[in-house]
């Protein structure tokens, strides 16, 4: 099991982000496992854009990869089973879903497209102007806010295809919400995983680096 985890992490994470400069966007994800209960689960997810490759995975995978790299034992409460790593080419709607279930790594290919409707509604977050877009996808009505100032047509999970990075997206029943929390600009030679990190107040200065 441990060898399988190491192999998976090195192939999908470490080798992925050391081949070129990586633009990393960290999202706060809130969701309700049961829509009838007002209990929200919160997690952090990474969106890594490296060249033409896009990777989306949970913070737990990043932690496990760092531990593996430094030969540190996994903590007992770090659970990677039933987690998903999403990978696709920039601008493509064809996704690979990698699921780690016990000692087996499953690879499922899917095609996911959102038919977005752009609106003229805008709002200001920090110093960034966001524009509103809507879509109906997977049986839910979604509202997204994207930044044309950030030239990536990507977003959290499988959301993509807008003329700028998706910084916020949620469904109208408030069962799911994705919000950009931080960004990192990782250089090829960076050894420190925190190199280049900036918080929301510093985010506008990051725009000049990408």
pLDDT tens string 95-147: 998 876 666 677 889 999 999 999 999 999 988 999 999 999 999 999 999 99
> How many structural domains is the chain composed of?
1
The CA distances from residue 13 to 42, 64, 134, 203, in Å, are: 22, 10, 31, 24
CA dihedral 76, 39, 101, 64 (to 10 degrees): -40
When pLDDT is cut at 50, 70 and 90, the band that residue 188 belongs to is low
Q: Rounded CA gap, 207 and 146, in Å?
A: 14
Name the residue with higher pLDDT: 36 or 75: 36
Task: Identify the band that residue 187 occupies on the pLDDT scale cut at 50, 70 and 90.
Answer: confident
CATH number for the domain including 51?
2.50.20
**Quick one: pLDDT at residue 36?**
63
Question: Residue 139 belongs to what domain range?
Answer: 2-209
> For residue range 7-18, what is the model confidence (pLDDT) as tens digits?
444 445 544 445
Computed over every residue of the chain, the mean pLDDT equals 76
Question: Is pLDDT of 22 > 70?
Answer: yes
pLDDT at position 46 over 80: yes
Average pLDDT over residues 29-34: 80
Q: What is the pLDDT of residue 101?
A: 66
């Amino acid at each position: 099991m441990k060898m399988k985890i190491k192999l998976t992490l090195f192939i999908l994470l470490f080798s992925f982000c050391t081949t070129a400069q990586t633009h990393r966007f960290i999202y706060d994800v809130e969701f309700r496992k049961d829509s009838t209960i007002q209990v929200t689960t919160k997690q952090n997810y990474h969106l890594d854009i490296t060249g033409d490759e896009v990777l989306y995975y949970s913070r737990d995978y990043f932690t496990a990869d760092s531990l593996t790299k430094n030969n540190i034992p996994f903590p007992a409460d770090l659970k990677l089973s039933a987690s998903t790593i999403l990978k696709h080419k920039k601008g493509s709607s064809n996704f690979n879903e990698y699921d780690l279930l016990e000692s087996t790594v499953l690879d499922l290919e899917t095609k996911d497209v959102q038919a977005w409707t752009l609106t003229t509604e805008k709002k200001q977050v920090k110093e960034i102007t966001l524009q509103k877009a809507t879509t109906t996808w997977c049986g839910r009505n979604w509202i997204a806010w994207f930044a044309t100032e950030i030239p990536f047509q990507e977003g959290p999970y499988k959301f993509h295809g807008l003329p700028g990075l998706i910084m916020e997206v949620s469904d109208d029943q408030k069962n799911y919400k994705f919000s950009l929390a931080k960004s990192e600009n990782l250089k090829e030679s960076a050894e420190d995983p925190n190199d280049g990190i900036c918080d929301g107040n510093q985010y506008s200065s990051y725009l000049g680096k990408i």
